[in-house]
Amino acid sequence: MTDAGEWWKNAVIYGVDVSRFCDSNGDGIGDFPGLTERLDHLVRLGVTCIWLLPFHPSTNRDNGYDITDYLQVDPRYGSFDDFLFFLTEAGARGIRVILDLVAQHTSDRHPWFLSARHDARSPFRDYYVWTDHPPRPAPGRGPMFPGQEDTTWTHDPVAQQYYYHRFFRFQPSLNHENPSVWMELERIMDFWMSFGIAGFRIDSAAHLIQKPLDPQGGKDKDHRILRDIFRHVTRRIPDALIMSEVNEDEGSLPDFFDGGQMNAMMNFSLNNHLLHALASGRAQPVLDGLARLPPPPDNGVWANFLRNLDEATLERLDPDAFRATVGILAPDQDMRIFDRGFRRRLAPMLGGDGPRLRMALSLLFAMPGAPLLCYGDEIGMGEDLGQPGRDAVRSPMQWTRGRNGGFSTAAKARLIQPVVARAFGPDQVNATDQWDDPGSLLNHVARLSAIRLDHPGIGRRECRTIANAPDGVIALRYAAADHDLVTLHNLSPKPARLDLDLGASCRGESTALLGDPLETRDGRLRVTLPGHDFRWSRWPR
């Protein structure tokens, strides 16, 4: 079994945007009382860890990632007591909670920046990065949002200098070489840890080590700030989860994932290969992706996902694979964004095909690591391409067929964002109807969670690919002391005939966990797997 102190290796993680989950008071905006009301949905789903997207006061120009006060709850989402009650109720149900730590930048309306720009002698001036002569961006250090930003340096008319912003110009980057900035981050982390959270998700972790004034694109090779965050948090909470956002090439990942900077890394690399495989109907991209992944450190786990609440970035694919994947999963120009991916939800991306969607989510849970879902994945919500930018994939959660999908009783004009309409609207896609349907996607995901929680070896990456599977089929095997777990997934719409040698430990009929049972003769498995079908079977040792 997984060490009880390393619970994240056997976690089912669920990302929640409080503002879009459930509105309790009819003002059109989700809040903590609404989230608390819906905790039993997450318990039934099998969620063991909630990742809360930013819920602090902000100017709301980047979905809450432009923070103006790190030590408060945005009053639109309820009171501080509402947050504490949610935290207590989640804990009572065995669900841990981690928060987004947005340490790369603040809002340009944060008091630190307002003081910094108005007075060159302000102690906050050096909280940010200023220059009279901005260097040319090094390769790969241009604006993160091409088409929306054309530079990473903006001239401030009050300060009479340029300030650096890796993201939007209203998000000035913090100067992580300033010890005072580190002291502020310590204070922020200590404050939230004092209430019993289980850790943090480090936003834009790879950008925290960059040196913006270096024209060569230099980095802090020691990754000091990431090590300091990890050390500081785990000293106070020994079993804390530090899950970091690092979207870098595979060769750089061991520099981050070494056991001393984070104990979970969001698996952007495998995500790219999963999307390529789902688009092509071929298993090889996933097999290549698994082979290219460095092993996690002893205390670490990969956090695997199919979609998040940003754009789907495909930067880890080669140009041919990129073009092919985008062409299939996002055929219309309006679906694409930032020249690196697309703004689509999983269900419409796969054509609303129920069997294909079930197979894709089953494959996610079969990958070595911890599965990471985002709200709405479990019911197959769609996107709203009528919304600007990445908001297309951030529509309110759909609970019922009723008004506003059960998200809010407010008038439509007051909603934080419209509920998705038409084919993926609440009449067709909602949690209440799906809980009542044993064959629904929601009940399928709940079964996957239960299986996953019963098989902690998946989180320890005790995984072998089974040789000689057809190109459309991913065959994986996890060996434990008392059983062998075999998963088969046919990514192709066509049936696949399998003839696999499972060895002496897999003899006779298995116990079917999902799908029909599998049976071997002399350790050999011969079976035809229908298109987009999948099997989970277990043989005792």
Which residues are tagged catalytic?
203, 245
CA 62 and chain centroid, separation: 17
Instruction: Extract long-range pairs of 33-37: CB within 8 Å, 24+ residues apart.
Output: 33/78, 33/82, 33/85, 33/86, 35/86, 36/82, 36/85, 36/86, 36/89, 36/90
Q: CB count, 10 Å around CB of 517?
A: 12
Q: Tokens representing 520? A: 């071997």
**Rg for the chain, CA atoms, rounded:** 23
CA distance 368 to 476: 10
Question: Under the phi-then-psi rule, with left for phi > 0, alpha for psi from -120 to 50, and beta for the rest, what region is 281?
Answer: left
Cβ(128)–Cβ(175) below 8 Å: yes
Q: How far is CA 425 from CA 251, 342, 419, in A?
A: 42, 21, 7
Distance of alpha carbon 283 from alpha carbon 366, whole angstroms: 14
Sequence-ordered list of residues with C-beta below 8 angstroms from that of 236, at least 6 positions apart, any chain: 190, 193
Q: What is the largest CA-CA distance in the chain?
A: 79
Query: Which whole-number Å values give the CA distances from 344 to 65, 217, 330, 381, 382, in the listed order?
Result: 20, 32, 8, 10, 8
Beta bridge partners of 337: 341
Helix or strand run (H / E) with residue 540: strand 534-540
Contact 518, 510 (CB under 8 A): yes
| Residue 432 backbone dihedrals phi, psi, to 5 degrees | -60, -50
Q: Are 67 and 54 in contact (CB under 8 A)?
A: yes
d(C-alpha 345, C-alpha 107), whole Å: 28
What's the chain's length in residues?
541
Cα(356)–Cα(358) distance, integer angstroms: 5
Q: Residue 85 in 3-state DSSP? A: helix
Q: With beta carbons less than 8 A apart as the criterion, state whether 485 and 506 touch.
A: no
Please say whether the dihedral angle defined by the alpha carbons of residues 203, 67, 188 and 81, taken in this order, is positive or negative: negative
Q: Are 476 and 466 in contact (CB under 8 A)?
A: yes
